[in-house]
Amino acid sequence: MTEIADDNKTKGRAFPQELMDFFAQAGGRSLIIKGGPGTGKTTFALELTEVMQDTFNTMYISSRVDEIALGDHFPWLKKDIVQKEFSFMTEQRRRMMAEEGKTIVNRNELDKLESRVEMGEEFDDEGDIEDYQPPSYGAEDGQVVFDMAMILPEIDMVYEAVEKALPQRSLVIIDSIEALSEKYGISSRKLIYTLQKDLVEHTKTNLIFILEKSDHTDLEFLSDGVLKLESAKYDNRRLRRMDLIKLRGVKISTPALLFTLMGGHFRFFDITSEPIILPSESSMEESSCDLDKLLYSVKPSSINLLEMGDGVDTSIILKVLVKRIASSISQGFGVYVLLPGRVSIEDIEHELSRSGFTEENMKCLKFLEMAEMGGNLGQSNMIPIEGESIHDDFRWDAISHSLYDLGKPYTAMICFDTLKSIYGPDSYLGLMRHISMLTKNKGTFFGLGWTTNQEARKFSNYAHTHVRIETIERYPVIFGERPYTNLNFLSIPSNTPGEKPLMKALPIL
């Protein structure tokens, strides 16, 4: 197994662990990266060479993008991975190297291929004979002399660069295989087969083939690994997804991943931890979406709605509620809450305590609770409700009297699903007078509901801000309906005891 350099182990966390394990295996590996235009194939491949440059001799071969254009699009890219110079290694030189006991690259399949091209016998992907004529220079005794280095210059460049780097192993990107196929009239299948045999199997080189067409499934069996990148739409917002279709020798635990190209870098989102931002990516850090602007920078006298999909995990709901409560308490505001059924008062108090809030701090927080539910209603942090009439239970004078010892203005957090279970359908309408009095007194209303419950969707007509949290392929995403925002990955790393609850939204660009 190849040992990945220590620095690259950290950098590599910007990529799925399965991919790092794939290239760490003994022997060479070939990887197909396919996807339509603009899906991030080139960015992904170039980022990978940056990660692997201390482990492998890395190079990028392109027949369609020059070095200057690459530098403009990817200013972080090290220029020496772009191969632009070529000096043909003669057979005499290769024989001398072999006699000296130096390792040389197996060229058996390439020699066969170039011979067929020289004779004009190669086939395209559809099986038709191409009329390609290789370049020629000079003549001897009336016969054309072919310069074999010029028949397939990009391919010969790869062989020479790999050979010069030996015994160090190489990682080579070819962008794209279709462009080379079209340029020289050689089938993509034959090009991949040739490079797989000579370089991957015989020289332990790692090869990355970029395919411009995602429907090229007939080529997948030739490579050791296949990734597919997609740029799709979710609720009229851009969604970037990567499918790990095949990674030979590696167990794929997460076959579908979401990623971003924010700041010109490829970064996938890890559900279990915060996305990695390298020290050199300050521009990415600065361009990160501020979650407070989406969810917590609410104005006084505003009405706000948080709508969640059914697949959103309870732990995320808890973190969002605690962050909102903590924000208000920190400003000295009084907070009263009607919780969703899946979150308990004990959960909220535990998380607040874990985040460093004292009992004195939590005196600013009160919970609305059904009177019939029992024994804790005598506690000072409880406001009892009867459940018969929403108008009576939420009379402003009664609620404000229960909050007399809390700091003003107040923040109300009401779950519409709980409200409906107590008072029946369209119960939010009975709450409007209460909300009106709250906002007149500079208070802030924060409604919470699930997408399948039409109460929240109906209430959106009254809300100044409307934020949604959904899950896509198990990934939590957050976005604004009002104001409109792009999709953002919602990162909620675990906070240590005494640390305020952390959340970060990273745009999917």
* Helical (H) or strand (E) element with 174: strand 170-175
For residues 232-253, give the mean pLDDT: 92
Instruction: Mark whether 373 and 224 lie in a shared domain.
Output: no
Instruction: Mark whether 106 and 156 lie in a shared domain.
Output: yes
Using a pLDDT cut of 90, give the percent of the chain over it.
24
Q: Is 340 exposed, middle or buried (0-12, 13-18, 19+ CB in 10 A)?
A: buried
- Using alpha carbons, select from 345, 321, 340 the residue that is nearest to residue 411: 321
- Structural domain range at position 55: 6-280
- Residue 246's pLDDT is 93
| β-bridge partners, 505 | 289, 490
Instruction: Mark whether 223 and 300 lie in a shared domain.
Output: no
Q: Dump pLDDT digits (tens) for 410-439.
A: 999 999 999 999 998 888 888 999 999 999
- CB contact set of 8 (below 8 Å; sequence gap of 6+): 51, 52, 53, 54, 55
Say how many domains are in the chain.
Answer: 2
Residue 285 resides in a domain = no
Instruction: Mark whether 389 and 439 lie in a shared domain.
Output: yes
- Is the sign of the CA dihedral 179, 183, 186, 190 positive or negative? negative
Instruction: Mark whether 264 and 380 lie in a shared domain.
Output: no
Q: Which of 280, 299, 327 is the last residue of a domain?
A: 280
CATH number of domain containing 270: 3.40.50.300
Instruction: Mark whether 187 and 270 lie in a shared domain.
Output: yes
Q: Which of 280, 309, 327 is the last residue of a domain?
A: 280
Under 8 Å between Cβ of 319 and 501: yes
Instruction: Mark whether 146 and 21 lie in a shared domain.
Output: yes
Q: Please work out, in degrees rounded to the nearest 5, the angle formed at the alpha carbon of residue 466 by the alpha carbons of 465 and 470.
A: 150
pTM of the predicted structure, to 2 decimals:
0.79
- Quote the CA–CA distance of 466 and 383 in Å, as a whole number: 27
- Residue 233's pLDDT is 92
Residue 1 resides in a domain = no
Using a pLDDT cut of 70, give the percent of the chain over it.
71
Residue 239 resides in a domain = yes
Instruction: Mark whether 270 and 312 lie in a shared domain.
Output: no
CA 382 to chain centre: 42
Q: Give me the helices (H) in 294-341, please.
A: 314-330
Q: Is the pLDDT confidence value at 40 over 70?
A: yes
Q: Dump pLDDT digits (tens) for 103-145.
A: 556 666 666 776 666 666 655 544 443 443 444 433 344 333 3
Residue 286 resides in a domain = no
